[in-house]
Structure 1
Amino acid sequence: MERVLRPNLPVGPYRIKFKAVFICDEKVDYLIRLNIHQHKVSQTRVEMRGNISLKIPFDDSLNLNFNMAVLSKIGGWIDHAFDYSAQHACTTLKTFLGPSWSTYMRSWNMSATQQCPLDKGEYIMRYDLSDVNNYHIPKEFIYGTYKTRLYYTDKNGMIVGCTILVVDIVRPWE
């Protein structure tokens, strides 16, 4: 069966436009703290830059969670548009990044062959977001603006790191 392009439907192939990235709560001293921001390098290239502080190793004893809220057409965020939780945070992140893992590790000034766990310490990050096309994520998604709360929890359920990403999921030609 041949696939038919229906450009007015709210779901399909997409492109991600990064709008913002920031810490969930500035007042909390997270054990994993991503102090990053986006930097527009050119009309088509955006980088994440900043520093990452790991007061604990980033390993598989942590859980990876994210909650995506979608921006309503009448304003306001609708929480839990998409939720995901997984054990083994480091391995799960590595799986999501797929072939981009080595680029991601180099952006932290680590070896491209770095495996889990990531040692505690201070890291400087400079990551080109055009690499997002290589991630192991759905190839079709519902169009819209999303606020994604990415957070890590320990075995007791305590949040040890939290970052918010705001993105637009748009049609490939937009």
Structure 2
Amino acid sequence: MSLQYVLLFLCFIFITIKGDKPPTYFPNLPLGEYKLKFKALFPCESTENHKLQYNVYFSKKTATEFELKGNMTLHVPFDDSVSISINMAVKSSIGGWKDNAHVYTTTNACSKTIWLFGELWNDIVRGFHLPRFNCPTPPGVYVTSGIDMEKLRQNNFPKKFFYGEYKMTFLFTKSTGEKLGCFVLVLDVIRPWE
């Protein structure tokens, strides 16, 4: 009788050992690998008095493909003396925005932007016809007729993140605290199969 229990136990162990099987699939976890679904891109306020003006927007190529279009007007160089603050508000279950869900603030905005965008930075430089690939970006007006947002996958963003709808406010300041520019990006962080 005890031999039957031993054999049953051994069978149970061999059946449940994973071996070379892929990891268990948990589709309803609140975070994981993701894809981005862009919704809107607009200035925080009138850019008339901003020294870094980002007048860019998303344009639909097809039902699921977007391009980044518009212009950037830089009255001062975009360099490492600029700081950037990103405040991510998450959409709550009742429809309002909860600020400070994720906050990222750093100095050296130019170098950090290049690092964060990774290979996509080269497409941004070519798309906006920037004069150089490294810092600083000199003052001027830079216009793009369209940058494919599918290329955004080639970046140094976190590879796993919390799912949900986010409103990201990007604020650019000088070390003295002077506000240089601001824009808002609204997007969904969704599961790869959605």
- The answer to whether TM tops 0.5 is yes
- 1:155 is matched with 175
Structure 1 unaligned spans of 5+: none
- 2:79 is matched with 59
Q: Give, in whole Å, the separation in 2 of the partners of 1:99 and 1:22.
A: 24
Q: Structure 1 residue 27: deviation in Å?
A: 6.2
- 1:26 is matched with 46
Structure with greater helix share of residues? 2
Q: Give, in whole Å, the separation in 1 of the partners of 2:135 and 2:47.
A: 29
- 2:97 is matched with 77
Structure 2 unaligned spans of 5+: 1-17
- 1:133 is matched with 153
C-alpha deviations, 1:62-95, integer Å up to 9, x for none?
A: 0111000000001210000000011101000000
Q: Structure 1 residue 110: deviation in Å?
A: 2.8
- 2:14 is matched with none
Q: 1:146 aligns with which of 166, 170, 179?
A: 166
C-alpha deviations, 1:115-138, integer Å up to 9, x for none?
A: 110010101022211111111011
1:8 matched to 2:28:
yes
SS at match of 1:150: strand
Q: Give, in whole Å, the separation in 1 of the partners of 2:159 and 2:54.
A: 27
Q: Structure 1 residue 35: deviation in Å?
A: 0.6
Q: Give, in whole Å, the separation in 2 of the partners of 1:65 and 1:103.
A: 23
Across the aligned residues of Structure 1 and Structure 2, the Cα RMSD in angstroms comes to 1.5
| Fraction of identical pairs, as percent | 37
- 2:56 is matched with 36
Query: How many equivalent pairs are there?
Result: 173
Structure with greater strand share of residues? 1
Provide closer, same or farther for how the CA distance between residues 87 and 27 of structure 1 changes in structure 2, counting only shifts above 3 A. Answer: closer
